Structure 1
Amino acid sequence: MPGEPADATCELLREATRAVTELLAHNGSRPGSLHVRAGGVAIELDFGGGPAAVPREEPEAAGEDLVVAPTVGVFYRAPSPGAEPFVREGDRVTAGQQVAIVEAMKLAIPVAAGRDGTILRVLKDNGADVEYGEPLLELAAS
């Protein structure tokens, strides 16, 4: 069918990107290579040098008062450009409430408050690059 290889390739690229992003975000390791096949289309990525552990420190213990980046990416305060931010300074939040997004490789990863509280300060600018564990918002007890 016309267009089928292009569609399959796009889907394959999305799946490969998702797999690599999840691998890096969840266990901090880097694969030596990645092979993905869908029908007659295959993608092989070689990261060179084989598997290697990426040092990954957990956020500091002061994290109860901070909402931190769940992964490396770009911090967004709103669900889309021009939309209202998830939260503003002074807003009350509950544990598990989405307060931001970190985009990594075209995936929007929700950022949630770890406990009930009030947003004291937004620590990063909208669209700022962030690192894993970097403080994004400061919570005050409520």
Structure 2
Amino acid sequence: MPSFDIVSELDMHEVSNAVDQANRELGTRYDFNKVDAKFELAGDVITLQAEVDFQLQQMMDILRTKLVGRKVDIKSLDVGEPHTANMRARQLVTLKQGLDQPFSKKIVKMIKDKKLKVQAQVQGDQVRVTGKKRDDLQEVMAMLRSEDLELPLQYTNFRD
């Protein structure tokens, strides 16, 4: 029976490369000349540090540009509020990965509301969709691509 999995994952290697590129661009930009500003990646959190929060906004634009250039979906960023203390400004950007339980249930409900001849079930941080025909599965993929969801979705483990 054909099946596939719906997941939301980031290529952390590409994210790391984008952060490195953004740091290099900070070193070459005139408006960041003699400014102590940097990006740091630790796990699923990118920390932006600068002297004032106006610079954080510029740094956020640089980061978004570099991530898009590396084909990392911007929907997976959860941008926190800037914090200013002791002549330093910091901002945390959390990378969202995996499907949480409420979002997975929402996907399953969307699939069931379309009344396609497929079954969808939540399995941990992914959703498994099975059906009798490959065309039904491709119809589910097309339907999910057309929806405006808050997380980027990938379709993996397609089996015939």
TM-score of Structure 1 vs Structure 2, range by shorter chain? under 0.3
Bigger Rg, structure 1 or 2 = 2
Pick 1 or 2: higher relative contact order, CA cutoff 8 A, min separation 6: 2
Structure having the larger proportion of residues in strand:
1
Q: TM-score, normalised by structure 1?
A: 0.22
Structure having the larger proportion of residues in helix:
2
